[in-house]
Amino acid sequence: MGQLKANDFRVEHEKKNTHDEVVIINTCGFIEKAKEESIQTILHYNMLKEKGKVDQLIVTGCLSERYKKDLEIEIPGVDAYFGTTDLPRLLQYLKADYKHELLGERLLNTPSHYAFLKISEGCDRPCSFCAIPIMRGVHKSKPMEEILRETEKLVQGGVKELILIAQDLTFYGLDIYKERKLAFLLESLAKIPGLEWIRLQYAYPSQFPMDVLPVMNRYPNICKYLDMPLQHISDSMLKSMRRGITKRRTLELLDEIRNTVPGIHIRTTLISGYPGETEQDFEELLEFVKEQKFDRLGIFNYSHEEQTHAYTLEDTVPEELKQERSEIIMEAQQAISLEKNQSRVNSEMKVLIDRKEGAYWIGRTEFDSPEVDNEVLLDASQYYLEPGQFYQVHIDRAEEFDLYASLIHSNSVERNKIVLPGNN
């Protein structure tokens, strides 16, 4: 988007216009659900193109990297399909220049106070179920100077929360620096003035770089939050999934993380119905979820993806059973989440306000990532708050995934902009 803007295009993210000259769809293709959503989106815009509401339709991203030939045959109305590394070609197609000096220039499609930053692309892990390495290729770290430069620009543009993402954050540096550099990168980022929250998403558990943990403790602007997808806990499942870790080591790792970083909130994701998952494997997983009481948790039904190693196995668990198992896990997690949220009632927390929705201002604590985690709601008829500002709040009541709060005082320099109760 940054490149197009620099070429004098007017670029908008998901804006509903009556007429668009060019629509570019960035697709996802790693599991069945994502593929369906991507295809539905292409079909929708193809229909708009047929009605004359779109002049040119372009598809890029993982789905077209993986299924370009099929898509060209199945949906010929699309003007051009590009893969995951085709950005310069896509720009050329639109008669725009690829400007190397603009690397790191971004046009955010998130609210202006937070941004996702991808520190590496691709993945070298051998997880049996995963199609991502097929689409994204081998692991390639982004040089540290580029990341720091991009972050400084983002902060100058108003970003306060930076969410580091990658297929596997823990591998950062191994390819270009011949050693894991996540801890060093974090430390350098944490020193950037004005960056108030740094969040880590997607850390692979096997060979987790333990030097990251003391850095998390040392810098208050590194959120005490870690998203570590564990996928399963039964040894036979972990082995078949080729995760490079056992149940015992996973339990030790979780203990070590919690002991080294007191108060850390761990988010995980799991898979239900992987080939060969027995009732016993599932019971073990459920028990693990109940015992570990993760702060945040998500679960996917196993998706049988061609070209993966797991595709050579039989997809033994029926779809309904996968779904039933996912629901049982989520029910258990719901109770855990309610209990954890209730323990917050009457405490004071710092929240970052994301937006206003209906009758509430919606914010998050440092323990919550946007779009996937819990939210904190403040009555919009009581206060005027500013999205992108931090506030100190009192937690009044709790539900499974939401906290209701009242304002204590502003933690930001723009305190005088707040209209306190009664002045609405």
Contacts with ligand SF4, residue ranges (CB under 6 A): 123, 125, 127, 130, 132-133, 167-168, 204
Question: How far is it, in rounded angstroms, from Cα 285 to Cα 363?
Answer: 32
Question: How far is it, in rounded angstroms, from Cα 237 to Cα 250?
Answer: 13
Question: How far is it, in rounded angstroms, from Cα 21 to Cα 11?
Answer: 11
Nearer to ligand SF4, 34 or 345 (CB): 34
Nearer to ligand SF4, 133 or 363 (CB): 133
Strand partners, 140: 121
- Backbone phi, psi, residue 306, to 5°: -60, 155
Nearer to ligand SF4, 168 or 284 (CB): 168
Nearer to ligand SF4, 125 or 356 (CB): 125
- Backbone phi, psi, residue 223, to 5°: -60, 140
- Backbone phi, psi, residue 369, to 5°: -90, 150
Q: How far is the CB of 103 from ligand SF4 (least distance, A)?
A: 24
Nearer to ligand SF4, 307 or 347 (CB): 307
CA-only gyration radius of the chain, Å:
23
| Dihedral sign of CA atoms 230, 235, 236, 240 in order | positive
- Backbone phi, psi, residue 148, to 5°: -65, -40
Q: How far is the CB of 280 from ligand SF4 (least distance, A)?
A: 24
Q: How far is the CB of 251 from ligand SF4 (least distance, A)?
A: 20
Q: How far is the CB of 166 from ligand SF4 (least distance, A)?
A: 9
- Backbone phi, psi, residue 61, to 5°: 95, -165
List the structure tokens of 219: 């810098």
Nearer to ligand SF4, 203 or 261 (CB): 203
Quick one: which H or E segment has residue 238? helix 235-240
Q: How far is the CB of 3 from ligand SF4 (least distance, A)?
A: 26
Nearer to ligand SF4, 138 or 420 (CB): 138
Q: How far is the CB of 129 from ligand SF4 (least distance, A)?
A: 7
Complete DSSP assignment for 185-229: HHHHHHTSTT--EEEEE---STT--TTHHHHHHH-TTEEEEEE--
Q: How far is the CB of 229 from ligand SF4 (least distance, A)?
A: 7
